[in-house]
A and B are shown apart, each in its own frame.
Chain A
Amino acid sequence: MGFTQIIFLLASAAIAGPILAHLFNRAKFRRVPFTMVQFLQLTQKQTQSRRRLREFLILLLRCTIILLIAVLFAGPVMKKQADVESWRQIHYLVLDDSVSMLCKEGGYDFWQQMETAGKKYIKNCDPARSVFNVYTMTGGFLGKNMTAPAALHTFDQLKPGTGASKMNGLIADINKTIEHKGGDDTLGIHIVSDFTPMFADVLGQQSQQISVDSITYQVIGKDVEPDNLAVTDAHVVRYSEGILTLSARVANYGRAVSTKLIQARAWKHKSQEHVIKLGPSDSAQQLLEVEIEGDIEAGDFIPVEIHLTPDDSLSLDNVYRFAVVVNPDQQKNILVAGETESELFLINKALESLYGRSGDHLIHTLTYSDFSNSFSRKLDMFDAVIFASVNSFHENKSKALKSFIERGGDLIFFAGGEFDKSAAEELFSQGVIAACPERLEERIAHIKPLNNLAAGSNLSNIDTELLSVVDQYKVDQAAMWSYYNCRYSVNTAAFWEITPQANLLYVKACRNGKSSFVNTSIDDSFSALTKSPVILSICELLIGTENKVFSFDFASDESVVLPAFTSEMQWQEQSWLIDQDDKKILAEVSEGCIVCPGPHSIGWIKSVSEPICYGGINAVDGETNLMQIPENQITKLTERHFTLNDGTQKSSSTGLSKSQNARLDKYLIVLILILIFADSAIANRIKR
């Protein structure tokens, strides 16, 4: 038997307390003169020996309880000699197959080192007793319960994973093994990794602490200083007069100061090269301009790549890919979203008639329940989104909507009969909705003529000319049967007053886009405006006529979502995509989108059928970061998440012990409780 915290055994000295109390603090007797003492003595003789025995028993019990508590705190473990015949060594070999392991610095190859270290670990184990589980950080288990030769054979399948590192599967499997392993079996974990910050993040996300018999690790690439600049993000700033302006974020993910040239390439067109110099962990934003005029047709996907040259230790993140779709014909994708199909019908027909007249805009309708899946991704596919009401659907979506407006999208909220106060408050506080509807007024009021053009004119996104055109439709002759009294901020322009507390239209600009609130319903219940050309003109006014540019770039572990533009494709249930390695992938077509769940190879992915849609697949941000966490932090991390069964923490490459430690805590606790009950029973008996 051993103890994990032997210092607590000193607490057993506390038994001196009850002993001293027993010896010195004898019961105090009141002295009373009496006459018939011989009768007392007669009786006393019968009880005294019993009483002494009880007192001694109590002393013994109390000393034992104190001793047991001290032992309990000292963490007793019973070292059992393992059954020579049947015990097994269960090994979990954790290999880091993330993209950072593709680093090559000088003659040092991270991947090769990892393979060598993993194989060496397997060979050093006792082949007769060892069982191997080989786990890769991005790909999961390569094999379970394998013999040493089989485990070595799995290294042939080992290839860099493009997904994000994760350990959930490992932890779950270890727990399962702990539950089912034999009493004498030992369990050890050996980690081979470059221990980048991403590894620390993944390990830090584990909230569970696991008891194992040994935890060892090997750090790959600790003696080298790799040079690695990475393009971590890029997006279109604008497309104007044939020039595509791009913004790229570059970070130094290496361990040394690095200088590179950065250039954007779109088809055969290239931007100017810019020099970029960054120290370790530094990052910078770089604007790049590519002239692409003449090569673009409506809805064409242009693959754009941002290149860093020359190559460095990890070339995978030197190129950032994203596809750009420019809409030079002012065609807009408009989404009308509402609670039910019938609710959407009226506004949809009105918009179709409006845009059927003015151009080939694509109008889609979605109910809220359909829209809520992949909400942010779907938002990106539209230029304008018209919501038939403000209701609970909008709760917790304000950030995505805000981002949509900032990127240049137009949001139009109609005042529906269904109204969710908390959702409206949230949208208003985030600056997503132009005005916050507060109270429904159900009485007839006439809209007043437009007289605050000056207020609206300071909004750059509002076409004042169009506004006056809309006013020509004699909006002021319309009668409102219901309307909301609204609260709005100073940045909001309000048009067509109904009462001093309510206007028909509120518009608020937000960076490149704008948000509007139309104080009438789309189903005639507030007024007959929806049926008149007025509301169509208002929508036209709000949606505007500017060009839109979309970009399609994805992390390798994300779902790829590409638009299914043609009506033929929209009717299909599946569509083929081709990835970087010319591998065909069957993707689902759903709600006007081609959706293909990740992970994907880093590079390009494109649709097979015309028009060809591209999507750029890039490494998960952070996975190529080669900064290494210090070794003492690695030890702390492993100690935080893995405890050794004998209670001691050690991270080394030593083999597993043959003996096993069994915790005795629960037996001690039960025994202490029983003794406490016995003590109180005997003490109570004495008093009686």
Chain B
Amino acid sequence: MKGRQKHVNYLDPVLLSRLDNMELVARCAVEGFFSGLHPSPFHGFSVEYSDHRAYQYGDELKYLDWKMYGRSDKLYIKQFQQETNVNVYMLLDSSKSMSFADEGCVSKLDYGSYLTAAMCYMMLKQNDSVSLTLFDENIRQWIPPRSRSTHLHQILKVLNANKPQGRTNLASVLHDLAERTNRRGVVVLISDLLDDVEDIKSGLAHLKYLKHDVVVFHTLDRQEINLDYEDQIQFEDLESGEIARVFPKSIQKTYRENVQRYLDEVQAVTGVNEIGYVLLNTSESLSKALLAYLNLRNKMR
């Protein structure tokens, strides 16, 4: 249990936010994540043999070396040399709205950055090719997919230098990305999806049409979901500058209903297109996102 507790701490976004070095963030997140899991199910997905190891409870039987069993009457698992077998397109929303953070929490952009860094680190370790796209209304920065380990430094450098700005225009960005990808892969979208649902739908449908596996990490702050403010407040929209003067307590119930309706719509859109959808609260651990990705990646096998 101690080990489990340790990795959970490593994945705490607030804790990660204290680390200046993004690489360290990525390592802490990923290694902390794996240290709490059973190691074998996620050890490589390659085809070239590399080594044997003793069978452990939970290993899939398909990797058992039956010939070895016949010879030695012992159960061994075949381990394979990892090789790049998929392109992962990381899309991080860097619009102004992503800078929102409740008191004591990390911003959605920081959270998304940590998640991006951790996933890139993990993928590159598995020799997947990773691409990073930062966008607001348009694609602001595009790093093409590479599988070299040094590619991580480039990604982390870009993430470090990233600043929130502009408004969100998902449809345009997704269509643009679809045009740029010439090989099917995994598209990981990290965004607060503050755009028209129909636009989001069309953009995602385009990616899906190109046979990409898409997973959407819908990142929201807890206050965006709950509106748990006291007193009377003048809310100013980070992107549009719109103002709303309200007594949050008096409209809290209706607001939550409206937000829930919106989330249901988004979920319906992703469901129609068989897109993985994970709602992430920035106060939650990164492990939820990492686990969701690995499940998706496993399915691709």
Contact = CB atoms under 8 A, between A and B. Distances in A.
Q: Do A and B bind each other?
A: yes
Contact of A30 (B97, B194, B232, B243): B232
A39 interface: yes
B246 A44 contact: yes
Contacts of A46: 251, 254
Given A39-B258, A40-B251, A30 B233 contact: yes
A34 B235 contact: yes
Interface in A159-193: none
B259 A39 contact: yes
Nearest to B251: A43
A667 interface: no
Contact of A28 (B192, B224, B232, B243): B232
A32 B233 CA distance: 7
Contacts of B240: 37
Interface string B178-210: 000000000000001010000000000000000
Contacts of A27: 232
Given A35-B194, A37-B242, A688 B249 contact: yes
Q: Give the contact-size bracket for chain B.
A: 20 to 34
A311 to B, nearest CB: 95
A31 B236 contact: yes
A38 B168 CA distance: 14
Given A30-B231, A40-B244, A43-B251, A35 B237 contact: yes
A29 interface: yes
B238 A34 contact: yes
A532 interface: no
A43 B236 contact: no
A1 interface: no
A34 B237 CA distance: 5
B250 A37 contact: no
Contacts of A37: 235-237, 240, 242-244
Contact of A35 (B192, B243, B249, B262): B192
B64 to A, nearest CB: 51
B111 interface: no
A197 B17 CA distance: 99
B234 interface: yes
Contacts, number: 84
Contacts of B232: 27-30
A423 to B, nearest CB: 74
Interface in A44-66: 44, 46-47, 51
Given A34-B236, A37-B242, A43 B255 contact: yes
Contacts of A294: none
A40 B255 contact: yes
Contacts of A23: none
Interface in B245-291: 245-247, 249-251, 254-255, 258-259, 262
A490 interface: no
Interface string B204-238: 00000000000000000101100101011111111
Nearest to B245: A29
A34 B239 CA distance: 9
Interface in A1-50: 27-44, 46-47
A32 B235 contact: yes
B243 to A, nearest CB: 8
B114 interface: no
A318 B155 CA distance: 133
Nearest to A29: B234
Given A33-B100, A33-B238, A39 B233 contact: no
B224 to A, nearest CB: 5
A599 to B, nearest CB: 81
B251 A44 contact: yes
A30 B235 CA distance: 8
Interface in B82-108: 97, 100
Nearest to B259: A39
B250 A47 contact: yes
A41 B243 CA distance: 8
A35 B239 contact: yes
A368 B46 CA distance: 129
Given A35-B194, A36-B224, A36-B259, A41 B242 contact: yes
A35 B100 CA distance: 7
Nearest to B99: A33
Contacts of B247: 687
B234 A31 contact: yes
B238 A35 contact: yes
Nearest to A685: B250
B13 to A, nearest CB: 18
A32 B236 contact: yes
Contacts of B251: 40, 43-44, 46-47
A43 B232 CA distance: 15
Contacts of B229: 32
Contacts of A39: 255, 258-259, 262
Contacts of A30: 231-234
A51 B240 CA distance: 26
Contacts of B233: 29-32
Contact of A43 (B97, B243, B254): B254
Nearest to B95: A35
Contacts of B258: 39, 42-43
Contacts of A36: 194, 224, 259
B219 to A, nearest CB: 11
A39 B258 CA distance: 7
A687 to B, nearest CB: 8
Interface string B136-179: 00000000000000000000000000000000000000000000
Contacts of A33: 100, 235-238
A35 B224 contact: yes
Contacts of A47: 246, 250-251, 254
Nearest to B242: A37
**Centre residue among B234, B235, B246, B250 by max chain A CB count within 10 A:** B235
A281 B223 CA distance: 94
A44 B244 contact: yes
Nearest to A37: B237
Contacts of B242: 37-38, 41
A42 B237 CA distance: 14
A28 B234 CA distance: 9
Interface string B52-70: 0000000000000000000
Nearest to A687: B247
Nearest to B192: A35
A38 B192 CA distance: 14
A44 B232 CA distance: 12
Nearest to B240: A37
A47 B251 CA distance: 8
A28 B224 CA distance: 22
A37 B243 CA distance: 7
Nearest to A30: B233
13 contacts: A30-B231, A32-B234, A32-B236, A33-B235, A34-B238, A36-B194, A37-B242, A38-B242, A39-B258, A40-B246, A43-B254, A43-B255, A688-B249
Given A37-B242, A38-B242, 9 more contacts: A27-B232, A32-B236, A33-B100, A33-B235, A35-B238, A35-B239, A37-B235, A44-B251, A47-B246
Return the 7 tightest CB-CB contacts between A and B, nearest first.
A29-B234, A37-B237, A34-B235, A40-B244, A43-B251, A35-B97, A43-B254
